[in-house]
Structure 1
C-alpha cells in the first residue's frame, strides 16, 4: 500500500509542477513533461529546505504551506496556458500515456530491486543504512535546518 501511495504522490507532484516546467522548458517539443515529476519533488523539497533554513521552523505546516504555494503558482500558470494545455493534450495524448507507462515500469523495476534486497544491515558486509537512518531521523527531529549532526556526540 505504501508503494501505491508513494507512486501517486510522485505523479501528483509531477502534475502540479507541469505548468511551471512548461514555462522553463518551452523550447522542447514535449515542454519537459518527463521532467515534471522530478521537478515537482525537487520544488517541494528545496522550498521546504529554504523555508526551514530561513523563515519558519520545519514542520508539517511548513511543508503544507510550500505545497499550497506551488499549487497556487501552478494553477495561475495553468490558467494562463489553458488553451495550449488543451491542444497539447489532444494532439500528444499518446505521447503522454507512453511517458506514464515508462514511468510506471521504471517505478515497478526499482520497487522490485528494493523488494529483492530489503535489508537494513548486512551481518558480514555491513553497510551505510544505519547512517542513512540516523540522518533521516535527525531531519525529522530538527525544527530548523540544517539538522543536527547525529554523529557529533552531544552537539548541534
Structure 2
C-alpha cells in the first residue's frame, strides 16, 4: 500500500460538481492499493501517518503530529500511485488491486484511520471522477510505502 501524504491548509474533493468532503488544516492522503496489501499494512500506515511529526511547533520546527494540532484528514483512493512507467509512454496499472479487492481495503483503511485517530475523516468515492483541490502547506509532501518498512 502506498500513500502520498500532503500537509495542507485546506483541501476538498468534488464529485459531479458537488463538494463531497472538505477539511481545514491537516492531511490530504492519497491511497494506492496493491493486491498483496493486508490489514497489517493498513494498521501500520495509519499509525505512521497519524504520528508523523511534520507540523510546525512554536519554534517553527516540524515536531507536531496530526493529533497534536487537532488537524483533519481527507482520504482519497488513487490507483495511479502504482503506475509502472518502465516501458513506453503509456503507464501500466497492472500492480494496482482490482476493485473487488481494493474497495474493501480502501474502506478498511478509512475505518482503521478513524479508529486510531479517534475522529471522523473526509473521503472521496472509490472509482469516481473526482476533482481534488488543495492548498499544500510548505509545501510538504511525503510518500510512504508499507512494503518499505525496514
Give the TM interval when normalised to the shorter protein: under 0.3
Question: When the two structures are superposed, what TM-score results if normalisation uses the length of structure 2?
Answer: 0.27
Normalized per residue, the structure richer in strand is: 2
TM-score, normalised relative to structure 1: 0.26
**As a proportion of its length, which structure holds more helix?**
1
Work out which structure has the larger RCO, using CA pairs closer than 8 Å and 6 or more positions apart in sequence.
Answer: 2
